[in-house]
Structure 1
Amino acid sequence: MNLIILLLPIIAIVLMFRSQKKRQQQQQSMQTSLEPGAGVRTIGGLYAQVKAVNDETVELEIAPGVVSHFTKGAIAAVLDPQEYDAIINGRPLEDELAELAESVEADEAGSAEEGDKPLSLSKDGADKGDADGGAPASK
C-alpha cells in the first residue's frame, strides 16, 4: 500500500516531463521548418508573413512594407496558406464557400418556386397594391 503511494507521484512526474519534452521537440521542429512566405501566428496573437529567417530571429511583415524582428520562440504556429488568407483577408475557407454556394442556390430555387414578389421600399407606396397610394383603409 505504501509502495503504491510512493510510486504514483513518481510516475506522474515522469509523464509530465515526457509530455513537456515532446512539446519542446514539436516547437523546435516547427521553428526549423520556418521559411520565407509562410504565414504565422505569434504567441501574442499577431498574424504576419515570414520575410526572412535568421539564426535566432525571424523577420515578419506585419503590414505591407512594415517588417519587425521576432525571436523564433515567439512563433506559436505556422499556418496553411489558405488558413492564413482566410484570417487576413476575411475570406471563408473552401468548405465554407461550398456550403455558402449551396445555401444561396437553395434560397434562389425556393423563392423562384413560390413566386414571391420582391419587396421594395418606395416613398409613394405604389408597390403595396392599394389604389389610394398604399395607405391602409380605415374601418
Structure 2
Amino acid sequence: MPILMIALLFGVMYFMMIRPQQKRRREAEQMQAALAPGDEVVTIGGLYGTVASVDDDTVLLEVAPGVQTRYARPAIARVVSQADRVEAVEATEPLTEDAAAVKE
C-alpha cells in the first residue's frame, strides 16, 4: 500500500508540475528559434525593441533609432508582433473566387 501511495504521488507531481514546465520550455525555445529581423520583442528585463539581426546565440535589438544592443537568445521573453512576416504570408496566399471578386 505505501508503494502505491508513493507512485500515485509521483504521478500527480509529474502531471501537475514537471510536464507543464517542459511544455513552457519547449514553446520558449521554438519562439526564440523563430526570431527574425523586424520582430518586435520584449526581453526578460522588460526592454522593448525590434530585432535588427539574429546570430546563432545572440540577437541584436534596436531599442531606439540608431541604438542597438546585443542580447542572448534566451533573454528574449516574448514576441510582441511579427507584422512583416504575417503581411508577407497574406500577400503570397492565392485568392479564392470570393476574395478575387472583392479585390476587383
Tell me the TM-score normalized by structure 1: 0.54
For 1:13 and 1:2, locate their aligned partners in 2 and report how far apart those are by CA, in whole Å. 17
> Which aligned pairs between 1:75-86 and structure 2 lie closer than 5 A?
75-80=76-81
The SS at the match of 2:30 is helix
C-alpha displacement of 1:13 = 3.1
The SS at the match of 1:14 is helix
C-alpha displacement of 1:80 = 2.0
> Which aligned pairs between 1:1-139 and structure 2 lie closer than 5 A?
2-15=2-15, 16-80=17-81
The SS at the match of 1:68 is strand
For 1:71 and 1:7, locate their aligned partners in 2 and report how far apart those are by CA, in whole Å. 40
Asked which structure has the greater RCO (Cα within 8 Å, sep 6+), the reply is 2
* Equivalent AA in structure 2 for residue 19 of structure 1: P
For 1:9 and 1:65, locate their aligned partners in 2 and report how far apart those are by CA, in whole Å. 55
For 1:39 and 1:31, locate their aligned partners in 2 and report how far apart those are by CA, in whole Å. 12
Q: State how many pairs are aligned.
A: 82
Q: Which runs of 5+ in 1 are unaligned?
A: 83-139
The SS at the match of 2:18 is helix
C-alpha displacement of 1:9 = 2.2
The structure number with the bigger radius of gyration is 1
For 2:64 and 2:36, locate their aligned partners in 1 and report how far apart those are by CA, in whole Å. 18
The SS at the match of 1:79 is strand
Q: Which runs of 5+ in 2 are unaligned?
A: 84-104
Percent identity over the alignment is 41
For 1:9 and 1:74, locate their aligned partners in 2 and report how far apart those are by CA, in whole Å. 34
For 1:33 and 1:80, locate their aligned partners in 2 and report how far apart those are by CA, in whole Å. 12
Q: Which has the higher strand share?
A: 2
Tell me the TM-score normalized by structure 2: 0.70
